[in-house]
Chains A and B, each alone.
Chain A
Amino acid sequence: MSKKSRSKLWFLVHSWLALPIWFFVLIVCVTGTLAVISQEIVWLANPQMRASQPSDDAPLLSYDQIIAAIKRAEPDTLVESISRPDESHFALDVSVSYPDGRSVTVYVDPYSGVIQGTAPAFDFKAFTRALHGWWLVPFTNGYSWGWYLVSFLSLPLLASLVTGLVVYKKFWKGFFRPTLRIRHGARIFWGDFHRLSGIWSIWFIAVISITSTWFLIQAFMFDNQVSISTAPVALVVPRESVPVTSDGSPAPTISLETAIAQAKERIPGLEDSFVSLPANAYSYLSVGGRSWYPLMYQTADINPYTGDVAATRLLSDRTGLELVTESMRPLHTGDFGGIWIKLIWFFFGLILSMMVLSGLLIWTKRTALATANALKRSNKHARLQTTTEVSQ
C-alpha cells in the first residue's frame, strides 16, 4: 500500500470512529463536562449550600460542636456523618436520619452550626454523574450494562486521538502557528477548529480515555471476581471491648475531637475532612481526608469506646498498582485541587464536546465525498482486475 493511500485509510478510520455514534458520544461528553462542576452549579442555585465567614477571625466549629448544635436545634435528628467540602465557601454536608425514617443530607453552617436546609430531592450532582457514568441503567448483579456502554467509548476515544495525530501531519507545528480561518467558509473553519483544539487537548483526551479505559477494566475485573485490592476487609469492634452498662443506657463514647486527635497522633499529616459515626454498636468511627498527595484519601478506624486506632488505610499501605488505579477517578473528574482544576477540566470538557460536533460537521461536508470517491476508485480497481483476469 502506498504512503498516500495508507494515510487515506487512517483518515477514514479516524472519521468513522465516532461518526455512527456521534450523538451518544456528544451527550456523554456534555454530561461529563457538567458533572465536573455539578457541585458548583448546585451551590449557585441553592443558597442553603453556601457558607461565609462572619468575620475574619471567626473560627470553624469543631465536629463535636456541630453535632451539639444540631442536637439543640432538632433533638430527634441523628447524625450519621459530616463532611467538609474542599472549598471553604461551602456549608458542611451532614448525613442525618429523621424519626420518620428519612435519611438525607442537610447543609450546616460551619461557623454557627445552623442547619440551613435539606438537600433537595432532585440531586443534580448525583443525576448528572449517573447519566454520564452509567446512562442511568440500574446496577443489579455487579456493574450495570450502562457502565460498560459508556466506558467502552474510551476505546474509540483513544483510537481517535492516535489516528488524529497520525493523519495530522507535523501536528506540532500547529502549536507554533495556530490557524483558525474564520473567513473561508464553514468547512475550513470547523476543520481548523477541530485541529487546533485537538492538539491543545492531547493531554486531556489522553487522561480521559486512559482513565475511562481503566473504568472499563475495573468493571470487568469486579464482575469476574478479580481483585487487586490490599484494603483490609471491614472490621468489627470485638465484642469484649463494647461495654455492657448496668442501667441499660448506651455506653459512653469518646468525643470526635479526641478521636481525631488520636488518629492524628498515629498518622502525622492526616486531614479530617470527614467523620463517619459508628453505624452500629459494633462498628468503628472513621476519620479521613487528603494529605500531601491530593488524589487520595487516608482514613483511620477508631474504637469509639476506647479511642484506640484499630485500622488505618494510608498512602503507604497502597501498592504501586493501587496508587495508579486509585488515582484514576480524581484524574478523570478533575476533583483533586479545588475550583481551578475543576474549571480547567470543565473548559477542556467543552472543547472535547465541540470536537465531536466539529468532527460531525466536517464529515457531513467532506468525508461523505471522500468515501464515495474511495469506493468509486476501488470499484474501478476491481473492474480492471476482472478485465485482466478475463483477458488472460
Chain B
Amino acid sequence: MNTHAKPTPDSTLRRFWLKWRFHINVLLLLVPLGFMPKYFADAALFRGDTGLGEREIGDVQVGPWSLRLAELRNEAPTLDGPAGHMKNFTAALCDRCRDQVKATYLRIGKPRSLRAAGVIFFGTPHRMGAMLPIPEKTKADAELWITMEGWDGAMHQAALPLNQASPATVAWLNQQGGKP
C-alpha cells in the first residue's frame, strides 16, 4: 500500500481536470436546450397551431355526416403503463353536423352495438380527441371504425383500413411479428 508516493503527472490534462471538474455540470444545460425545439413543437401541436395533428387522415364520410380525422402524432402507439399501448386521434366535425352529433366513437373492428362503440371523443366539435387502445395482437389488416350517434338517436358508421388511418401503427404491428 503506497498512497503517498503516487507520481502526480502534472500534465495539462490533469490541470485542466482540476480546474474545471466542478464546472462540467454546466453541460447539463444542454439537456433542456436539446429538448427545447420539441417542447415548442409540442406546445404548438396541443394548441392546434399546426393543425389537428401531425398527420391529417382527411375527411371521412359517416352516413349523412362527416369529420376531419388526424393522428395527433405520426408515430407508433405509445405504452401507457399497465393500460397498454395507446394511439391518440383528433377530429373536427363538419360545420353542418356540429349540432346534430351527440357523440363520436372509435374502435378497432366493427362494433356489435352502440354500447360497444369503443372509446368516445372528448372536446368540442372544433377539436376533439380520443385515446384508442391498440392491442399488440391487432392484425395489420384491421379496420378503424367510426361510430357517430345523433341527438335524435340515429347511428351511422364508417370504417377505414388501419394502414390508411395510421401507417405508423401498421408498421409497428408488423414489427411486433404477430405476438400471441
Query: In the bound complex, do residue A247 and residue B3 qualify as a contact, i.e. CB atoms below 8 Å apart?
Result: no
For residue A2, CB closer than 8 A to chain B, the reply is no
Flag if A244 contacts B151 (CB, 8 Å): yes
Q: How far is the CA of A131 from the CA of B60 in the complex (A)?
A: 40
Residue in A closest to B121 when the chains form the complex, CB atoms: A280
Q: Is A316 an interface residue (CB 8 A)?
A: no
> Chain B, 82-103, contact with A by CB distance < 8 Å: what is the 0/1 string?
1000000010100100011011
- Is B58 an interface residue when CB atoms closer than 8 A count as contact? no
Indicate if the CB atoms of A140 and B78 lie closer than 8 Å. Answer: yes
Interface centre among A78, A247, A380 (most CB of B within 10 A): A78
Cβ–Cβ contact A121 & B25, under 8 A = no
User: Are A136 and B123 in contact (CB-based, < 8 A)?
Assistant: no
B137 interface contact, C-beta 8 A: no
Number of interface residues of B (CB under 8 A): 55
| Selected contact of B42 from candidates A138, A223, A242, CB within 8 Å | A138
Q: Which of B125-133, B139-147, B156-164, B167-175 contacts A (4 or more CB under 8 A)?
A: B125-133
- Chain B residues with CB under 8 A of A137: 31-32, 35
Q: Is A347 positioned at the interface, with any CB of B under 8 Å from its CB? A: no
What's the nearest-Cβ distance from chain A to residue B104, in Å? 8
Q: Which of A22-30, A108-116, A171-179, A187-195 contacts B (4 or more CB under 8 A)?
A: A22-30
What are the residues of chain A within 8 A of B78 when measuring CB–CB? 140-141
A356 CA to B101 CA, complexed, in Å: 58
User: When chains A and B are docked, how far (Å) is the Cα of A123 from the Cα of B125?
Assistant: 25
Judged by a CB distance under 8 angstroms, whether B29 is at the interface is: yes
With both chains docked as a complex, state the minimum distance between the C-beta of B117 and any C-beta of chain A, in angstroms.
Answer: 11
Quote the shortest CB–CB distance from B103 to chain A (angstroms): 5
| B80 contact set on A, CB distance < 8 A | 141
Residue pair B123, A225 in contact (C-beta under 8 Å)? no
| Closest Cβ–Cβ distance, residue B15 to chain A (whole Å) | 14
Q: Does A54 contact B (CB under 8 A)?
A: no
Q: Given A101-B48, A135-B32, A141-B78, check contact A78 B126 (CB 8 Å).
A: yes
Q: In the bound complex, do residue B49 and residue A102 qualify as a contact, i.e. CB atoms below 8 Å apart? A: yes
The listed residue (A19, A24, A102) touching B48 by CB distance below 8 A is A102
Q: Is A228 an interface residue (CB 8 A)?
A: no
Minimum Cβ distance to chain A for residue B91 (Å):
10
Question: A146–B32 Cα gap in the complex (Å)?
Answer: 9
B43 adjacent to A123 (CB under 8 Å): yes
Contact of B4 with A by CB under 8 A: yes
Contact A78 B125, CB 8 Å, known A126-B43, A280-B103, A282-B103: yes
CB closest chain-B residue, reference A137: B35
Residue A136 contacts which of B24, B32, B79, B153 (CB distance < 8 angstroms)?
Answer: B32
With the chains together, A247 CA to B152 CA distance in Å? Answer: 6
Nearest-neighbour CB distance to chain B for A73, whole angstroms, equals 16
Contact residues of A between 12 and 40, Cβ < 8 Å to B? 19-24, 27
A residues near B42, Cβ cutoff 8 Å: 138
| B29 lies within 8 A of A23 (CB) | yes
Annotate A353-392 by CB proximity to B: 1 below 8 A, 0 otherwise. Answer: 0000000000000000000000000011011001000000
Task: Please list 9 pairs of residues, one from A and one from B, whose beta carbons are closer than 8 Å in the complex, sorted by A's number.
Answer: A20-B24, A20-B25, A23-B29, A102-B127, A126-B43, A136-B32, A244-B152, A249-B100, A379-B4
